[in-house]
A = this chain, B = another copy of it.
Amino acid sequence: MTVMSFLGAIGAAQREAMDADERVIIFGEDVEANVYGTTGAGKTRSDKGDFLQMYGRNRIRNTPISEESMVGAAAGAAMTGLRPIVDLSYSSFLYMAMDQFVNQVAKNRYMFGGQASMPVVFRSAMFYGLNTGAHHSDRPYPMFMNVPGLKIIAPATPTDAKGLLRSAIDSDDPVLTFEACLLWGSKEDVPEEEFWIPLGEARTAREGTDVTVVAISSSVPEAVAAAEALAASEGVSVEVIDPRTLVPLDRDAILRSVHKTGRLVVAEPAHRTCGAAAEISAHVVEEAFGVLKAPIVRVTAPDMQIPFSTALEKQMYPTRHTIEAAIRRVLDLPASAEATELASASAQ
């Protein structure tokens, strides 16, 4: 075990995969200079340029700013013997390559009757909450969840970041990773050796019996904080489930937890309409209606673009306070005065 940051864990998974399989290559904008901190030696940005030195320009490649052709090139390379990792930096840039994602990456294997496999990983970070304004703050994973043929991971801890990314790279199917920038600095003990966390297995971030909170990406630590606060103040036992993989989604784990608790809150940083929270809620009401004791409540970003000013932006994403308010609602607990105030200060 070694203490590793989320960002360092991504670098470590990439390094181990590059060492293990020479078909793995990385390309993207500014990867040679390790601008985003994941093509260095695995811990900090100060190990700048290491990957380039270790693996050379054949396997570590700067690209022009041409997302659409980068994604297409990766798809073509993946169909012909490589296992590319494409660093797309910000999730807001994925739109540039949407045709390639939907029409080539997701469809080719299927359309061609299984002749192709598509072992490729597309990494991008969600930079919300950092005062970068509407263009850079997107959390677009729900629209990719609506596209059959893509797999999607959204790890919330350094361990998951390392183990899931490694499984993604080793998968023969295309995987998109959505990494919340707000989690980049988070640290924990992570196994130093190689390990794989299977795609499609949820993690129980906290066990509990009274209510289930399914939380995604940066909402996971917020949900855990809300759970701790409620345990302390109300003696309530909150279970927090982190799906970690959004496609395939561990629907069973969610249903098992709801069968135990009878109550569900879903928290995620994406926009509300047609988000992952909608999917989880709809699935649960269809499959576990009989055990539900209360409405399923979603805590999401509103259907609004992201404003720049700190005064405006901080209210846009789920926080421990808005999650606590939702848990109180499904448990029929009185709204805590403090939580209500903080919730209305921090979210609408």
On A, residues with C-beta under 8 Å from B are 92, 95-96, 98-99, 101-103, 106-107, 110-111, 133-135, 138, 140, 142-143, 145-149, 247, 249, 270-271, 273-279, 281-283, 285-287, 289-290, 292, 294-298, 302-305, 307-308
Which residues of the other chain, B, contact A107 by a CB distance below 8 angstroms?
A: 134-135, 305
Overall SS of chain A's interface:
mixed
Which residues of the other chain, B, contact A275 by a CB distance below 8 angstroms?
A: 146, 274
Question: How long is the Cα–Cα vector from A289 to B293 in the complex, in angstroms?
Answer: 9
Question: How long is the Cα–Cα vector from A110 to B305 in the complex, in angstroms?
Answer: 7
Asked whether, in the complex, the Cβ of A274 is within 8 Å of the Cβ of B285, the reply is no
Which residues of the other chain, B, contact A96 by a CB distance below 8 angstroms?
A: 98-99
Taking the full assembly, how many copies of this chain does it contain? Answer: 2
Asked whether, in the complex, the Cβ of A146 is within 8 Å of the Cβ of B148, the reply is no
Q: How far is the CB of A116 from the nearest CB of chain B, in Å?
A: 13
Which residues of the other chain, B, contact A298 by a CB distance below 8 angstroms?
A: 282, 286
Which residues of the other chain, B, contact A292 by a CB distance below 8 angstroms?
A: 285, 289
Asked whether, in the complex, the Cβ of B147 is within 8 Å of the Cβ of A134, the reply is no
Which residues of the other chain, B, contact A135 by a CB distance below 8 angstroms?
A: 103, 107, 111
Asked whether, in the complex, the Cβ of B305 is within 8 Å of the Cβ of A106, the reply is yes
Which residues of the other chain, B, contact A249 by a CB distance below 8 angstroms?
A: 273
Given A281-B281, A286-B298; A148-B304 close (CB under 8 Å): yes
Which residues of the other chain, B, contact A283 by a CB distance below 8 angstroms?
A: 278
Asked whether, in the complex, the Cβ of B305 is within 8 Å of the Cβ of A145, the reply is no
Given A111-B305, A271-B148; A282-B289 close (CB under 8 Å): no
Closest B residue by C-beta to A326: B286
Question: How long is the Cα–Cα vector from A129 to B93 in the complex, in angstroms?
Answer: 32
Q: How far is the CB of A29 from the nearest CB of chain B, in Å?
A: 15
Question: How long is the Cα–Cα vector from A296 to B289 in the complex, in angstroms?
Answer: 8
Question: How long is the Cα–Cα vector from A106 to B149 in the complex, in angstroms?
Answer: 27
Question: How long is the Cα–Cα vector from A140 to B99 in the complex, in angstroms?
Answer: 12
Within 8 Å by CB of A289, from B142, B145, B294, B304, lies: B294
Which residues of the other chain, B, contact A95 by a CB distance below 8 angstroms?
A: 98-99, 101-103
Asked whether, in the complex, the Cβ of A274 is within 8 Å of the Cβ of B142, the reply is yes
Given A134-B110, A305-B107, A305-B111; A281-B274 close (CB under 8 Å): no
Question: How long is the Cα–Cα vector from A316 to B112 in the complex, in angstroms?
Answer: 18
Question: How long is the Cα–Cα vector from A142 to B146 in the complex, in angstroms?
Answer: 7
Which residues of the other chain, B, contact A289 by a CB distance below 8 angstroms?
A: 292, 294-296
Asked whether, in the complex, the Cβ of B273 is within 8 Å of the Cβ of A145, the reply is yes
Which residues of the other chain, B, contact A98 by a CB distance below 8 angstroms?
A: 95-96, 98-99
A-B complex: 7 closest residue pairs judged by Cβ atoms: A98-B98, A143-B143, A289-B295, A281-B282, A278-B282, A95-B99, A95-B98
Which residues of the other chain, B, contact A296 by a CB distance below 8 angstroms?
A: 282, 285-286, 289
Question: How long is the Cα–Cα vector from A249 to B272 in the complex, in angstroms?
Answer: 13
Q: How far is the CB of A41 from the nearest CB of chain B, in Å?
A: 34
